[in-house]
Amino acid sequence: MNKCYIGIDIGSISTKGVVIDENYNIIFSNYIWTEGSPIEAVKKIIDYFKIKLDNNYQVFGIGTTGSARKLIGTLLEANVVKNEITAHAIGTMRIVPNVKTILEIGGQDSKIIFIKDKIITDYSMNTLCAAGTGAFLSSQAKRLGIDIEKFGDIALTAKTPVKIAARCTVFAESDLIHKAQSGYKKEDIIAGLCKSIVNNYLNNVAKGKNILEPIVFQGGVSKNRGVVKYFKEILKKDITVLENGHLMGAYGVAILSKNNNTGKMYDLNIKNIEFKTKGFECKRCPNECEIIRIYKENKLIDSFGSKCGNVS
Ligand code: SF4
């Protein structure tokens, strides 16, 4: 029987899972929407892997990362539970060993990670401003009646991208409506939006940072060829987009679970553990986040919903 290791990245928008073999190759992967229920999302991924692994593989390690990593780590008795920054860096370094900068734009947040001699030297994250994320692009694609999958390719056909105020979602949205009503071409507006995502990212997440090559761009938005084009154009640097870039968090924790495995075998039956869930609305700032806290035997083991990360 072959040995394998599972990595799961549970985000607020999507949940990703990978299985790797002894040589760190991804042999199976799965990607589904979290839809507010991380436990259900992970159950679906585990069920999918059970079928794929069949009797040919035995799981020797499970790693979790992402916003619900502690909860899911408890349920699966994971041998590794790691934050997203470390997980992404480990996964990316396995594929591009000399990477110096990782740009990441996901569904609801964006981050930048700096690496020197295989060590993370700096990073920053943006979870508050939606104007530079995949969720913003998706909502604008819907508004323009365009399939998000085609967004990037349409942007590449633009001759004169429209300038769109990128400072925040509200400004960008009203500017977009104004430009659409003023008769600008759709492809020029779409290209303008892609460019605004890049400008927003560089002015917020990457502000004042020295972006050194090799640069890897990942996260769901890296699939958008328009955004890739403007990153290259504005930075005047080469950018690598990995085919499995959206899976790097899951891949990173799968690697860590392999490297830290104790020889324990996993049966992939999700433990039937009793949890208590309590929700409240944080009033410390105008975001008014809905925080959900998960308790096991009266001990807080995880929480979700905070946009700033300062409230658990
Ligand atoms: S958790 Fe509270 S303080 Fe943090 S962003 Fe949300 S509302 Fe503001």
> What pLDDT does 170 receive?
62
State the Cα–Cα distance between residues 8 and 71, nearest whole angstrom.
12
Q: Which residues pair with 101 in a beta bridge?
A: 114, 215
Q: Which residues contact 277 (CB under 8 A, 6 or more apart)?
A: 292, 293, 294, 295
Question: Residue 127: pLDDT band by 50, 70, 90 thresholds?
Answer: low
- CB burial string 161-183: b at 16+ within 10 A, e below: bbebbbebbeebbebbeebeeee
Examine the domain organization and report whether 229 and 113 are in the same domain: yes
Mean pLDDT computed over every residue of the chain: 87
Region 120-140 average pLDDT: 77
Is the Cβ–Cβ distance between 197 and 82 less than 8 Å? Answer: no
Ligand 1 close to Cβ of residue 282 (< 6 A): yes
Nearest to 192 by CA among 203, 177, 205: 177
Handedness of CA 121, 14, 276, 6 (dihedral sign): negative
Look at residue 12 in the predicted model and tell me its pLDDT: 77
Mean pLDDT of the region 46-59: 93
In a domain, 265, yes or no: no
What is the rounded distance in angstroms from the CA atom of residue 16 to the CA atom of residue 18?
Answer: 7
* 237 and 104 assigned to the same domain: yes
Does residue 192 contact residue 221 with C-beta atoms inside 8 Å? no
Determine whether the shortest distance from the Cβ of 307 to ligand 1 is under 6 A. Answer: yes
Averaged over 90-100, what is the pLDDT?
97
Task: Mark whether 86 and 156 lie in a shared domain.
Answer: no
Return the pLDDT at 98.
96
Q: How does DSSP classify residue 128?
A: S
Burial (CB < 10 A; 0-12, 13-18, 19+), residue 117, is exposed
* pLDDT band at residue 129 using 50, 70 and 90 as cut-offs: low
Q: Quickly state the pLDDT bin for 166 (edges 50, 70, 90).
A: low
The answer to whether residues 135 and 107 touch, using CB atoms and an 8 Å cutoff, is yes
Nearest CA to 219 among 196, 239, 236, 199?
A: 239
How far, in Å, CA of 15 to CA of 223, rounded? 17
Q: Which sign does the torsion angle of CA 193, 196, 197, 198 carry?
A: positive
Under the banding of pLDDT at 50, 70 and 90, the label for residue 169 is low
Could you list the residue range(s) of the whole structural domain that residue 147 is in? 98-241
- Please state the rounded mean pLDDT for residues 278-296: 84
Percentage of residues in the chain having pLDDT higher than 70: 95
> Do residues 12 and 104 share a domain?
no
Q: In this predicted structure, what is the pLDDT of residue 128?
A: 60
190 and 253, same structural domain? no
Distance CA 96, CA 91 (A): 9
- Report whether residue 312 contacts ligand 1, using a CB cutoff of 6 Å: no
* Residue 197: per-residue pLDDT: 86
Name the burial class of residue 185, with classes exposed (0-12), middle (13-18) and buried (19+) by CB atoms within 10 angstroms of its CB: middle
CA 151/CA 143 separation, integer angstroms: 12
What are 7's strand-pairing partners? 18, 63
Q: Verify whether ligand 1 is closer than 6 Å to residue 27 (CB atom).
A: no
Q: By the 8 A CB rule, do 49 and 17 touch?
A: yes
Residue 131: the pLDDT is 59
CB 234 within 8 A of CB 116: no
- Compute the average pLDDT of residues 128-149: 73
| The predicted structure's pLDDT at residue 238 | 96
Distance 56 CA to ligand 1 centre (A): 47
pLDDT of residue 274: 76
The confidence score (pLDDT) of residue 23 equals 97
Average pLDDT rounded to a whole number, residues 195-208: 87
Looking at per-residue confidence, does 32 or 12 come out higher?
Answer: 32
Residue 144 banded pLDDT, cuts 50, 70, 90: confident
Examine residue 281 and state whether it is found in any structural domain, yes or no: yes
Digit-coded pLDDT (tens) for 219-260 = 888 889 999 999 999 999 999 999 899 899 999 999 999 999
What number is the average pLDDT over the span 289-311?
81
Q: Which one of 67, 109, 126, 287 would you pick to mutate in the ligand 1 pocket, going by the greatest count of ligand atoms within 8 A of its CB?
A: 287
Q: Where do we find the tokens 């090559």?
A: 213
Type of residue found at 296: K
What token pair was written down for 46? 């585990």
State whether 168 and 72 are in the same domain.
no
Residue 6 has pLDDT above 90, yes or no: yes
**Same structural domain for residues 115 and 30?**
no
User: Of residues 16 and 34, which shows the higher confidence score?
Assistant: 16
Look at residue 156 in the predicted model and tell me its pLDDT: 87
The residues, any chain, with a CB within 8 Å of residue 138's CB and separated by 6 or more, are 107, 148
Does 290 share its domain with 253? Answer: no
Pocket lining: 74 vs ligand 1, CB cutoff 6 Å? no
- Please give the pLDDT value at position 242: 92
* Amino acid 227: pLDDT: 92
pLDDT (0 to 100) of residue 109:
81
Residue 269 lies in a domain: no
User: Which pLDDT tens digit goes with each residue over 37-47?
Assistant: 888 899 999 99
Residues 38 and 136 in one domain: no
Same domain, 37 and 58: yes
Alpha-carbon span 305 to 294, nearest angstrom: 12
Residue 11 has which token pair? 């985000």
pLDDT of residue 286: 81
Does residue 267 fall inside a structural domain?
no
Total count of domains within the chain? 3
152, 283: one domain:
no
